[in-house]
Amino acid sequence: MRKLYFLFPAIALASTLNAQINFSDDFESYAAGALLGASSPNWNTWSMNDTPAEDSPVGVANAHAGLNSVYFSSTAANGGPQDCLLPFGGAYNTGQFEFESWFFVNTGTGAYFNFQAATTPGTAWALDVYMNGDGSMSVVNDGALVLTGLYPQNAWFKLTMPIDLNTNTWNILIDNVSQGIFQTNLNQIASIDFYPVSGQQFYIDDVKYSYSPYTLLPVNLAATAISGLSSGLAGQAFEASVTVRNLGLQPITSFDVSLTYNGITQSKTITGVNIASLASSVIVLDNDYVLGGGSNPATATISNVNGSSADSNPDDDIKTITISPVTPAINKVVVAEEATGTWCGWCPRGAVFMDLFSEKYDQFFVGIAVHNADPMTVPIYDSGFGANGFPNAAVDRGTQVDPSAMEPDFLARIVTPASGVMAHSGSYIAGNPSLSFVVSTTFTDAVTGAWKLAVVLTEDEVTGTGSGYNQTNYYAGGGNGVMGGFEALPSSVPASQMTYNHVARSITPSYGGQVFAGSISPGEAVNDTFELSIDPSWDLDQIKVISLLIDPTGRIDNAFKTNLQVEVGINEKTVVNDFRIFPNPAANGFSQLMIELKNSQDGSVEIFDMTGKLIETKSFSSLTGGIQMPINTAALTSGIYLVKLSVGNEIHTRRLVVTSFK
């Protein structure tokens, strides 16, 4: 529950309080073992009723100062159940706010807290802070990574967050050292929630916050956000916008705005508007900006407010943020496999974020929705993924996370160089039950060990009839926040209103993939042929073919995606026109290799078991045309073998299935 993120939440009205608020709690006034929420008029639990199961006892095992602190830990798959909330006395989106707390994080574990933007928990998340087990820190806003930093483990440290809500300027300091300044999509704060993610162990002590309200000036238009450029990959083009807010008493009717980034300045004159006091307006620039490599400033400037220089506070007329896009590794594609099901009420969140990532990162991202216990389930894919919860996602088969928290893993993987690059060739004639598909993999380095290859078919815009295609929806009515339009749909969305994207239709030959035959030299291209079953009920225009290169640790090293094109001829091979095994599976103790060469060639055939062990080698020279070569399968034990054909600079592989006849 604490790891949810919401898109496009509404901004609440600023607090009308006009006196400074100060709060501190060193936990020394509580008896050891007393539940925090039940004992304090200030603390509560997520459910807002001091639920004992969510509460946390005050302890004396470890403290920053004095005797007492509060300890959080979890071994539950979904975290918790401790879930302690400190309301700030209102929802603030103007003025100056500062939060401070001392933390102690056990070595190799981590900590997590979030800021809520509304007085009712779960309505809107303002910010999520993850202190990871490796000593790194990830700050996430609306599912996007906005800041990374470092924190010490196994020692008390002070975390301070000064926030200028007037200008949407947020800062995080660890032991008085800034980890970076950033902005948020929802510039509002109402409470802090401490919630241990599974495996985390941490203490908090000496918690403080202060709030200084803002007094409206006569005329004051502020630049509060630069959007569209804050995250992405170098070389991508994005539409940029500037958010302005009326922090004065008088309406704003006209102004000029400009945005400078990467050597490009765009300006617009805005007239004929009426921006009321405390209201905001988003100004979209006419042309896209291309993200440049490295860290560069983006600066928004407003001027000529209401046709004059009458702005009462010119200090907030300029907004600057640092844009540091990630530069992808060459030919790198990152895969996210998402566990989902139509029975899962939280799974609309996964659908929203998979679509969001596909749109944002386009050719650099492949999304695969692995369904569970519904009509779109592929059993071998579902069992192979082995979801720890729903919805969950694994980026390149790393640690499973909530789909809304994929971005840190994506950004880490997109810069990791790929060991191999793939290409596809093949054809499908409408009505055929299968597709013969070739994946050509070229490795940049010498490869040894159990490298594997798998091919996935996915389908977009899947619809169905019957109750199995109804989507359970916990976001109905908006009580659990905004979630890409699902808040406007019923609690059980009927099949007639549902369309499913990224749906896994098959994975061949298995979740783990097919082992490459033997060691491979740098620059060597290996061609593997896969027979992919095609269901006539699928919409072929929406089918994608995705090849997954899997390293010996089980992580996806790289991927390649193409659309299935109907009635397109097979790409012509340079030397090998055909390579088949018949019969396959083997019958009567033998099979024939059927090879057709374009011209006279020397070559060899090697047979490997699924561990990569060489079983047999056959060589030939100066052969052309059709060749038949027998294999004595009676001497082989039952199992799957790889048959590797090497001719000139080409390598082709086929799978041979053997049933023991002993």
For 420-460, the DSSP string reads EEEEEEE-B-TT-SEEEEEEEEEESS-B-S--EEEEEEEES
Q: What are phi and psi of 256, to 5 degrees?
A: -110, 145
CATH number at residue 548: 2.60.40.10
Task: Give me the percent of the chain exceeding a pLDDT of 70.
Answer: 94
Banded model confidence at residue 8, pLDDT cuts 50, 70, 90: very low
Single-letter residue type at 378:
V
Same-domain pairing of 609 and 541: no
Which of these, 500, 237, 188, 488, lies nearest to 344 by C-alpha position? 500
CA-to-CA separations, 503 to 48, 392, 428, 461, in angstroms, rounded: 38, 15, 20, 9
Of 265, 289, 323, the last residue of a domain is 323
pLDDT, averaged across the chain: 89
Same-domain pairing of 161 and 303: no
* Residues 126/116, Cβ–Cβ less than 8 Å: yes
Bigger pLDDT: 175 or 144?
175
* Residues 483/6, Cβ–Cβ less than 8 Å: yes
Question: Around Cβ 572, how many Cβ atoms within 10 Å?
Answer: 8
Q: 648 is in which domain, residue-wise?
A: 576-658
Same-domain pairing of 140 and 236: no
Q: Is the pLDDT of residue 593 over 80?
A: yes
Report the alpha-carbon distance of residue 651 to residue 450 in Å, rounded: 17
Same-domain pairing of 499 and 540: yes
Structure tokens at 325: 């896009």
pLDDT digits (tens, 9 = 90+) for 274-304: 999 999 999 999 999 999 888 999 999 999 9
pLDDT (0 to 100) of residue 298: 96
Q: What is the mean pLDDT of residues 160-174?
A: 98
Q: Is the pLDDT of residue 570 over 50?
A: no
Single-letter residue type at 598:
K
What pairs with residue 559 in β-bridges? 548
Q: Is 402 part of a structural domain of the chain?
A: yes
Q: Is the pLDDT of residue 11 over 50?
A: no
Report the alpha-carbon distance of residue 341 to residue 348 in Å, rounded: 9
Q: Is the pLDDT of residue 610 over 70?
A: no
Of 177, 212, 247, the last residue of a domain is 212
Same-domain pairing of 342 and 439: yes
Same-domain pairing of 235 and 170: no
Of 160, 180, 212, the last residue of a domain is 212
Total-model pTM: 0.71
Banded model confidence at residue 145, pLDDT cuts 50, 70, 90: confident
pLDDT (0 to 100) of residue 267: 97
What pairs with residue 642 in β-bridges? 608, 655
pLDDT digits (tens, 9 = 90+) for 402-443: 898 898 899 999 999 999 999 888 767 667 788 888 899 999
Same-domain pairing of 123 and 232: no
Report the alpha-carbon distance of residue 594 to residue 310 in Å, rounded: 85
Report the alpha-carbon distance of residue 613 to residue 611 in Å, rounded: 6
Q: Is 475 part of a structural domain of the chain?
A: yes
Secondary structure of residue 37 in the 3-state scheme = helix
Same-domain pairing of 271 and 252: yes
